[in-house]
Amino acid sequence: MSSIAEHIFPRVVWRDRAKKLWNPIQKKALKNRPEERVRLRVIEHLMQAGWSKHRISTEESIGEMADKEMRTDIICYNQDFEPKLLVECKAEHVPISEKTAEQLARYNQKVNAPYLLMTNGRSDYWYVIEDAKPKAIDREEVPALSTNEVNTLECDFKYWCDRGFAGKKASPELRTWLTKTLDGLCFPEEENAIQFLSFGQGPSDVELSHYYRIGSLSDNKRLAVTTLQTAYGGNRMIIIFNKDDENKAVLEINLGLLFDDKKGNSSLYDKSGIRTFDLGKHWNLQEKNSPEVIMEQANAIFEKHVE
């Protein structure tokens, strides 16, 4: 079944110009690792569902087995601080297997939570303990695990800043544009249209590893689109052109320069080098900003300038 973490993004912070994940439970910056991203996305959902962060633990030590320390991913406690839910998280690319279930069962011998969840951020597997045995259930069968009021999700500019999609130096006009554009870009109806893409050193000094909206142009051509904040609060739109499973070009749009109507606001990187140009001569991004139009307009640029 689909995941409670779908369309939920972890918070990020910058430390020494390096982007880190932010754990709101431990109040600590962490390395940007695949399993950590899933764990933090689940925590974000639980807090939105009304669970107090003061009753959520992460990486809690529950003893040793075969001389190896056992640490849980997430335990949620009720108001009497009794374990209510035990969660085991895997990275998105790791399938949930029988081995995962065995690990969760071993951990729950120590925790004794009545509800169990295994997730990789794409698929969830829920269980209830009946007669000392786990029984698979649908998410709809899980009762409201928290008695607190559900927090209404407001994806305002601060929300996108906290998650690395927008930078604080944006002008008022750009803030409004980003909030509207990201609402359409990051909540698609299609499953798995949002993916985290990892990159090494990119063509510029912008950290490209981030969540992207993926769109197919044809059987062998795809685009990946996102906006992201820079280390100093700037704003970029990044569009990556992929053909035959190989990244052919990157379009980097400096949204701050574009909205200030300054020239040289965009750069196209491919094997032939770097071309800097004024995007406004090709595309009115300020108005043509739906996901479909973004991909259509970007594709026209790539078709004209990339072999």
Was domain 12-141 assigned CATH 3.20.20? no
Q: Is the pLDDT of residue 151 over 90?
A: no
Percent of the chain with pLDDT over 90: 76
The set of residues, in sequence order, having a beta carbon less than 8 Å from that of 65 and lying 6+ positions away, is 106
Task: Give the residue from 162, 288, 190, 172 showing the smallest Cα distance to 237.
Answer: 288
Average pLDDT of span 15-34 = 95
Average pLDDT of span 263-289 = 93
Distance CA 285, CA 278 (A): 11
Mean pLDDT taken over the chain: 92
Distance CA 44, CA 4 (A): 10
Q: Is the pLDDT of residue 153 over 80?
A: no
Give Cα 238 to chain centroid, integer Å. 16
Confidence of residue 68 (pLDDT cuts 50, 70, 90): confident
Task: Give the pLDDT score at 244.
Answer: 95
Amino acid residing at 119: T
CB 109 within 8 A of CB 103: no
| Cα radius of gyration rounded to whole Å, the chain | 22
53 token code pair: 């962060």
Q: Which residue do the tokens 């633990």 mark?
A: 57
Distance CA 150, CA 50 (A): 4
Q: Where in the chain is the domain with CATH 3.90.1570?
A: 12-141
